[in-house]
């Protein structure tokens, strides 16, 4: 390990574990994720979107990535940061290379499960109401198949399996230095069966009893990519778009932009930078049948757009010389 990378890891440990010594935190950690919520969210987003963790909008996450992953990129960087953020609670015998291969193989299924988790859920019963009534209490579990449809059951079972059942509670003897020796004591360990289980356990903890609008990870309404609500603070949790660009793109559709620019080109104000016609030419143009028809369509199409309606009303007044 290079000196720079070694120093970077030391800084990462200091940043995300400021109050508790690392050995003590490793012993105590049981998947609470409290100190690493933002980092876990960003790791999941980068993993599912197949982007670099360096591309995070959060300066703090970019700093953690630079400190903890050194020169690593892609899944290798995600694995290195995941090992640190989970306090090295990795599956037994799984090193960085094996972890990256496992994450590569699990990405498709995990991304589909996350997309389902981030969506509004309206499960339907897999059987009729009459058939449900015939099932005894021991044969029917509310909120599980057949009380819900097969698709919902498949995703619920996925998170149950990877976020709950795959974790093993282990005991071992170790001393204050984290090794078996003098003055050892009984230590508790929390070990996942697969690397992807760490992501699933985080999502189960952070998303249970929550509506999609209040989850730490959302799906952009425009580009359909995942984004973290932790990245930019509390205001981000209310948003539906991954970036200002996507938000503008949703508002300024091609039709909306075309209609607005058409009206702007007819602006009669002398100080306007968009108006293209002199007042005499503009009055002649406003009397043309095609122009009248286009303006009528625009008015009807954007009835709730007050700013545009005001401009259309002014044009109408200008046509008849009654503008203020």
Segment 17-54, tens digit of pLDDT: 444 455 555 545 555 666 688 899 999 999 999 999 98
Residues 278, 258 contacting (CB under 8 angstroms): no
Band (106; pLDDT cuts 50, 70, 90): very high
CA distance 324 to 321: 9
At residue 25, the pLDDT reads 55
Residues 6+ away with beta carbon under 8 Å from 294: 262
How large is the angle between the packed helices 306-319 and 254-265, nearest 10 degrees? 30
pLDDT at res. 43: 95
Reported confidence tier of residue 3, pLDDT bands at 50, 70, 90: very low
Q: What distance in Å separates the CA atoms of residue 46 and residue 57, rounded to the nearest whole number?
A: 11
Task: Give the angle subtended at the CA of 271 by the CAs of 268 and 272, to the nearest 5°.
Answer: 55
pLDDT at 246: 86
Q: Which of 5-14, 86-95, 207-216 is predicted least confidently? A: 5-14
What are the tens digits of pLDDT across the range 139-197?
A: 778 898 988 999 999 999 999 999 999 988 788 888 877 678 888 888 777 789 999 99
- 């440990």: which residue's tokens? 13
Render 130-198 in DSSP notation, one character per residue: HHHHHS-TTT--TTSTTSS-HHHHHHHHHHHIIIIITEEEEEEEE-TTSSSSTT-EEEEEEEESSTHHH
Residues in contact with 31: Cβ distance below 8 Å, sequence separation at least 6, in sequence order: 89, 167, 190, 198, 201, 202, 205
64 close to 35: Cβ distance less than 8 angstroms: no
């Amino acid at each position: 390990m290079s000196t720079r990378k070694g120093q970077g890891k030391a800084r990462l440990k200091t940043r995300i574990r400021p109050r508790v010594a690392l050995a003590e935190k490793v012993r105590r950690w049981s998947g609470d994720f409290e100190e690493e919520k933002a980092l876990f969210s960003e790791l999941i987003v980068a993993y599912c979107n197949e982007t670099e963790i360096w591309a995070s909008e959060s300066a703090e996450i970019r700093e953690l990535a630079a400190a903890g992953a050194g020169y690593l990129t892609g899944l290798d960087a995600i694995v290195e940061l995941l090992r640190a953020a989970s306090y090295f609670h990795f599956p037994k015998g799984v090193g960085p290379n094996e972890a990256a291969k496992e994450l590569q193989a699990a990405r498709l299924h995990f991304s589909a499960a996350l997309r389902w988790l981030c969506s509004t859920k309206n499960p339907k019963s897999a059987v009729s109401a009459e058939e449900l009534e015939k099932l005894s209490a021991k044969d029917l579990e509310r909120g599980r198949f057949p009380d819900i449809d097969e698709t919902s059951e498949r995703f619920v079972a996925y998170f149950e399996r990877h976020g709950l059942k795959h974790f093993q509670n282990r005991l071992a003897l170790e001393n204050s230095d984290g090794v078996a020796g003098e003055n050892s004591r009984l230590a508790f360990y929390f070990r996942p069966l697969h690397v992807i289980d760490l992501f699933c356990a985080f999502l189960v903890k952070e998303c249970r009893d929550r509506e999609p609008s209040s989850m730490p990870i959302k799906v952009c309404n425009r580009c359909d990519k995942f984004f973290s609500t932790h990245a930019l603070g509390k205001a981000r949790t209310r948003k539906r778009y991954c970036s200002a660009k996507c938000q503008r793109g949703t508002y300024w559709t091609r039709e909306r932009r075309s209609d607005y620019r058409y009206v702007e080109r007819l602006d009669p104000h002398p100080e306007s930078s968009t108006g293209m016609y002199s007042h005499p030419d503009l009055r002649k143009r406003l009397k043309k049948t095609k122009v009248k028809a286009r303006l009528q369509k625009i008015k009807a199409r954007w009835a709730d757009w007050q700013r545009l309606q005001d401009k259309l009303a002014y044009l109408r007044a200008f046509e008849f010389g009654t503008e203020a």
